[in-house]
């Protein structure tokens, strides 16, 4: 397929596809799916080999968020029966983190519900970061605390944070339909604050909220321009008790096409398979390892993932290997920039943020593929987390 050959060539050169090419990936048929995965897999292996980075989530503060993000089980007005608790003590958070590290996690992601941290919250998280780093030599720590105020990113970096996560989630054009209590611009500003402070930026999306192909391409191209070091791809977990509980729009095949599109647009970035993989990819999760180079181990913030050992077995059985603590995740050209200044711009990476080439297969006279059938809701696959942080039960790692 000429489209895939073109995208592989561009990915190996770190050249941005056209919007039409990205849209064409999402429009490929199920008959072509393995060809799409194989093509994107060549790009993934060029920059990351067969390594899989493991990340582990610790939910520092769960539920009771004042924001109204429609996808979130912790949102204002959520009736989802999730765990609700206030800030974990640093020693408890460190204990939870240690379980993930023992399971093979290289990065610990500290997350707290809420609009954004107060200065007191930053102090609290700083102590948690210090406790985790004291107990786990060489571990990376990423903070995800919401919208940042001036100077807070610097304080987190000084406390030992390596990265900051704040997802764009969906396109700028549709953001107001998902959230009304803050703006898309607020999210972009927080990512840029993290980059300016020398933190490695982590920012991604949520697919499956009823968005169009154009919306997906818009947000991924916006992420490419923002240039984070890691891009988590979440698939909506339709929690009962949230406004998007009935949004079951994904098939395993569509989820794989989305991941392939992200890899083609962000060829040398850590693409992370995040929340919802068990719900939407199901038995096809191993195929996704040919597209992504990073996953979360075990459970998520408010939902259960598959057993941590099952994750490790899946990686080994698919012929991949867990990335070791002494290995640099990013390719040399990106890692050098991060080490030098903590952030990078479109000028630092050839083709980054630029549109090269002409129109792809959008001018084809072939008939448009039929819309896939809407999948049946698999509510049996959505399990609320009842173990780990905030409970007396052992975590899943």
**Which residues are documented as binding site for [2Fe-2S] cluster?**
109, 142, 202, 272
266 is annotated as an active-site residue: no
Shortest CA distance to 112 belongs to which of 169, 72, 59? 59
List residues forming the annotated binding site for [4Fe-4S] cluster: 65, 69, 72
Q: 14, 107, 254, 272: which is the annotated catalytic residue?
A: 272
Evaluate whether 258 touches 206 at the Cβ level (below 8 Å).
no
Q: 44, 75, 109, 385: which is the annotated catalytic residue?
A: 109
109 is annotated as an active-site residue: yes
Evaluate whether 276 touches 236 at the Cβ level (below 8 Å).
yes
Distance in angstroms (rounded) separating the CA atoms of residues 88 and 389? 8
Distance in angstroms (rounded) separating the CA atoms of residues 380 and 61? 26
Q: 72, 144, 266, 352: which is the annotated catalytic residue?
A: 72
Q: 14, 19, 44, 69: which is the annotated catalytic residue?
A: 69
List residues forming the annotated binding site: 65, 69, 72, 109, 142, 202, 272
Q: 14, 19, 75, 142: which is the annotated catalytic residue?
A: 142
Q: Measured between alpha carbons, how far apart are the two ends of the chain, in Å?
A: 41
Shortest CA distance to 194 belongs to which of 135, 152, 223, 137? 152
The encoded tokens of residue 158 equal: 């000084």
Distance in angstroms (rounded) separating the CA atoms of residues 203 and 248? 24
72 is annotated as an active-site residue: yes
362 is annotated as an active-site residue: no
Distance in angstroms (rounded) separating the CA atoms of residues 115 and 165? 14
Q: To 10 degrees, the CA torsion angle through 65, 67, 69, 70?
A: 80
Burial tier of 227 (Cβ tally within 10 Å: 0-12, 13-18, 19+): buried
Q: 75, 107, 124, 202: which is the annotated catalytic residue?
A: 202
H or E element in which residue 10 lies: helix 2-12
Buried b (16+ CB within 10 A) or exposed e, 60-83: bbbbebebbbbbbbbbeebebebb
Number of other CB atoms surrounding residue 102 within 10 Å: 13
352 is annotated as an active-site residue: no
Q: So which residues are the catalytic ones?
A: 65, 69, 72, 109, 142, 202, 272
């Amino acid at each position: 397929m000429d489209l895939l050959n073109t995208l592989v060539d561009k990915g190996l050169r770190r050249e941005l596809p056209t919007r039409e090419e990205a849209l064409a990936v999402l429009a490929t048929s199920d008959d072509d799916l393995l060809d799409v995965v194989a093509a994107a897999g060549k790009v993934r292996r060029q920059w990351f080999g067969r390594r899989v980075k493991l990340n582990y989530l610790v939910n520092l503060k769960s539920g009771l968020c004042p924001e109204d993000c429609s996808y979130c089980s912790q949102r204002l007005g959520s009736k989802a029966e999730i765990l609700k608790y206030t800030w974990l003590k640093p020693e408890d958070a460190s204990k939870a983190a240690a379980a993930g590290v023992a399971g093979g996690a290289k990065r610990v992601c500290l997350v707290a519900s809420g609009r954004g941290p107060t200065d007191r919250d930053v102090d609290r998280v700083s102590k948690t970061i210090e406790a985790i780093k004291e107990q786990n030599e060489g571990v990376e720590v990423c903070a995800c605390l919401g919208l940042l105020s001036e100077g807070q990113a610097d304080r987190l970096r000084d406390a030992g944070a390596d990265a900051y996560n704040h997802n764009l989630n969906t396109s700028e054009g549709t953001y107001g339909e998902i959230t009304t209590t803050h703006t898309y611009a607020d999210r972009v500003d927080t990512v840029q604050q993290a980059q300016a402070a020398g933190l490695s930026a982590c920012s991604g999306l949520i697919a499956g909220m009823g968005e169009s192909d154009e919306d997906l391409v818009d947000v991924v191209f916006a992420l490419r321009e923002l240039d984070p070091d890691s891009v988590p791809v979440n698939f909506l977990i339709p929690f009962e008790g949230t406004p998007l509980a009935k949004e079951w729009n994904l098939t395993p095949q569509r989820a794989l096409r989305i991941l392939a599109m992200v890899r083609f647009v962000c060829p040398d970035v850590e693409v992370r398979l995040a929340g919802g993989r068990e719900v939407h990819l199901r038995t096809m999760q191993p195929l996704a390892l040919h597209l992504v180079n990073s996953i979360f181990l075990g459970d998520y913030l408010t939902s259960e993932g598959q057993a941590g050992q099952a994750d490790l077995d899946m990686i080994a059985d698919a012929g991949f290997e867990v990335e070791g603590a002494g290995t640099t995740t990013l390719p040399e050209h990106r890692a050098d920039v991060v080490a030098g200044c903590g952030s990078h711009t479109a000028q630092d990476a050839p083709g980054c943020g630029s549109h090269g080439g002409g129109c792809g297969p959008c001018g084809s006279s072939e008939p448009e593929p039929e819309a896939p059938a809407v999948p049946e809701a698999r509510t049996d696959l959505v399990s609320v987390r009842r173990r780990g942080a905030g409970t007396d039960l052992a975590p899943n790692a």
